[in-house]
Chains A and B, each alone.
Chain A
């Protein structure tokens, strides 16, 4: 690979920060002790873990005893939802949204098989800009609702949900509230100290810690049933010897995130806006997916009509630019992203969606580079598209559609 990589796919995963890597390295080599051991050699690792726990708790305004370490964001999501169902076995209703990550969506859709009980799952719809209707949310809560699971920030569009307010509403009805905050933690300020949120999921690899480390926040006093049963780790709430190096890395990553929160919401946001406005201006028939304001500072999701996302990504790839798409072809399925479909983005635009997600490591020069390379790619693909010119002549192009998908 000679072309330098311009990485704008930070909602997929992030680079481990050099400071984070340095912090974790000794725990793979010299300091390999088990934190549960009685000897000083293991004990010093335990101390370091306690420190990491503190760093993570500080970033989200939690207490250290409210955190459980898990193997990933997906495990955190599963643990929270299954715990609530076991805590209230007589309650068989779940409220969630149509735009959740598969970690929540697929779990909720397959609960019947998993638990052997029948469940009702309400998947709240979103509007054209990806927002929920709070009135509809309130009406969906029932006597037998066990848990509400609503993501803090959407991974595809960056749209933020008012989870604090939604959690208060759930609490007033005696219902547990979980939020998948995997995309929000480290990007927007979070303070759980005065919040009604019961469970919150974190994944390390989205905030410059390594892959394979997650956290579940469980508010003090929330009923909890463990997912992994084994040793006494995490006070019996999650068995398994701690992933020591990764936890220490996540602690450092959280400390870094706290110190860079300001930059994320000023410089990175400005960079994102520059990129977004530049693309929307340079390229006709392009549109933003997701609400312009109620959104993560690092994410933009744009649809380019009449072209297909995978083709765009492969062209970008030639220039070393990493992005992602909600098109059918990139997902391995034949239908475009469930998030864009839930928002009512027409299929014609959903197939041509591109997500650029930045981080503090992106520079102005990189944004300029993308602004230089992307418009000609769209132009080239459109010149090849049977719909482009016919659309511009005002007639409908291509064969008439036999399908019902539009």
Chain B
């Protein structure tokens, strides 16, 4: 069961301003039956250009209904410019918070408001101009970008909670990650991880031998030592230390802190290096 605040419960059980304003100056509709929630917002302006009346009709869960009800209360008396500054965070805050999985309900409220204002002004819908990234829920990149910026989202899961994008088939997850990196202007270049997720035994042995030859052996030889690969059994890499290393008291440290570390970095995170029992 969701943890709803008393305010959410109140606006859900006793929604304010249900219906449609007659001779509305602006009407905005977002969402669809198929997607599971939808909101139709209408408002009427007074002679000063302030919102005199606002009404909603909503299909959706408790938080969708409560967000819509809250929104209509919040915008009454505001000019359109003032109303346009209301963000989804403001709606959630007005309700004393929403469960994080339900933040998309407040985003829907905000988008309905934008749609109604655009309808009044005869301008195109800003967010719909973007390119659809999530086909399951019809979410554009502009909506995703704005949600990341405004709510400081850090993961795909959070993007889904706020915009629903990525909550269906999951095919757009990579694209969402890319947008997330772009928005955060992750200038720090991400080093691509070339390690395959799963290695066959032969691949594993070959890669281990390569790292031994390329880095480990030359380093050990400098100190008069050497290393030999004895066996690979699952994640266990059995080696034998030779020369100076073989008699060195610090050979355990060499094994764990140098050899194992190198192999884990370059071959497989789960490898465990052990010395052959002689």
Show the binding face of A for B, using Cβ within 8 Å.
306-311, 314-315, 318, 327-330, 332-336, 347-348, 351, 383-387, 397-406
Q: Is B37 at the interface (CB under 8 A from chain A)?
A: yes
- Determine the main DSSP class of A at the interface with B: loop
Min distance, Cβ A338 to any Cβ of chain B, angstroms: 12
Q: Is B31 at the interface (CB under 8 A from chain A)?
A: yes
Given A318-B13, A386-B57, A387-B59, A406 contacting B34 (CB threshold 8 A): yes
Chain A proximity mask over B3-34: 1 for CB below 8 Å, otherwise 0: 00000010011010010000000000111111
Residues B32 and A335 in contact, CB atoms below 8 Å apart: no
Cα A384 to Cα B37 in complex, Å, equals: 12
Min distance, Cβ A401 to any Cβ of chain B, angstroms: 4
Interface size on B, residues (CB 8 A): 37
Given A384-B65, A386-B39, A386-B40, A403 contacting B34 (CB threshold 8 A): yes
Min distance, Cβ B105 to any Cβ of chain A, angstroms: 9
Cα A330 to Cα B61 in complex, Å, equals: 9
Residues A334 and B167 in contact, CB atoms below 8 Å apart: yes
Q: Is B132 at the interface (CB under 8 A from chain A)?
A: yes
Residues B12 and A328 in contact, CB atoms below 8 Å apart: no
Residues A403 and B32 in contact, CB atoms below 8 Å apart: yes
The 10 closest A-B pairs by CB, nearest first: A402-B138, A334-B167, A329-B61, A401-B32, A406-B34, A310-B61, A403-B138, A386-B40, A386-B57, A399-B29
Q: Is B274 at the interface (CB under 8 A from chain A)?
A: no
- Given A308-B59, A384-B15, A398-B31, output 9 extra A-B contacts at Cβ < 8 Å: A314-B62, A318-B13, A327-B61, A332-B101, A334-B167, A347-B33, A386-B59, A401-B138, A403-B138
Residues of B within 8 A of A348 (CB): 33-34
**Complex A-B: 14 CB contacts under 8 Å:** A310-B62, A328-B36, A333-B167, A334-B36, A334-B168, A335-B136, A385-B59, A386-B38, A398-B31, A402-B32, A403-B137, A404-B138, A405-B137, A406-B34
Residues of B within 8 A of A333 (CB): 167
Given A347-B34, A386-B39, A402 contacting B132 (CB threshold 8 A): yes
Residues of B within 8 A of A402 (CB): 32, 132, 138
Min distance, Cβ A160 to any Cβ of chain B, angstroms: 29
Name the one of B9, B12, B13, B38 contacting A399, with C-beta atoms under 8 angstroms: B38
Closest to B115 in A: A399
Residues of B within 8 A of A328 (CB): 36
Q: Is B135 at the interface (CB under 8 A from chain A)?
A: yes
Min distance, Cβ A193 to any Cβ of chain B, angstroms: 42
Min distance, Cβ B68 to any Cβ of chain A, angstroms: 9
Cα A70 to Cα B34 in complex, Å, equals: 41
Cα A293 to Cα B1 in complex, Å, equals: 32
Cα A405 to Cα B134 in complex, Å, equals: 11
- Determine the main DSSP class of B at the interface with A: mixed
Residues of A within 8 A of B61 (CB): 308-311, 327, 329-330
Residues A398 and B60 in contact, CB atoms below 8 Å apart: no
Given A314-B62, A398-B29, A308 contacting B138 (CB threshold 8 A): no
Residues of A within 8 A of B219 (CB): none
Min distance, Cβ A287 to any Cβ of chain B, angstroms: 15
Name the one of A308, A351, A385, A404 contacting B135, with C-beta atoms under 8 angstroms: A404
Residues A311 and B36 in contact, CB atoms below 8 Å apart: no
Given A351-B36, A404-B136, A384 contacting B167 (CB threshold 8 A): no
Min distance, Cβ B142 to any Cβ of chain A, angstroms: 13
Residues A306 and B31 in contact, CB atoms below 8 Å apart: no
Residues B34 and A384 in contact, CB atoms below 8 Å apart: no
Residues B29 and A386 in contact, CB atoms below 8 Å apart: yes
Residues A399 and B30 in contact, CB atoms below 8 Å apart: yes
Q: Is B230 at the interface (CB under 8 A from chain A)?
A: no
Q: Is B88 at the interface (CB under 8 A from chain A)?
A: no
Residues of B within 8 A of A327 (CB): 36, 61
Residues B62 and A311 in contact, CB atoms below 8 Å apart: yes
Cα A332 to Cα B61 in complex, Å, equals: 12
Residues B35 and A403 in contact, CB atoms below 8 Å apart: yes
Residues of A within 8 A of B57 (CB): 384-386
Q: Is B67 at the interface (CB under 8 A from chain A)?
A: no
Name the one of B2, B38, B65, B167 contacting A387, with C-beta atoms under 8 angstroms: B38
Residues of B within 8 A of A351 (CB): 33, 36
Given A332-B101, A334-B160, A384-B18, A399 contacting B135 (CB threshold 8 A): no
Residues B136 and A306 in contact, CB atoms below 8 Å apart: no
Residues of B within 8 A of A308 (CB): 36-37, 59-61, 64
Residues of B within 8 A of A311 (CB): 12, 60-62, 65
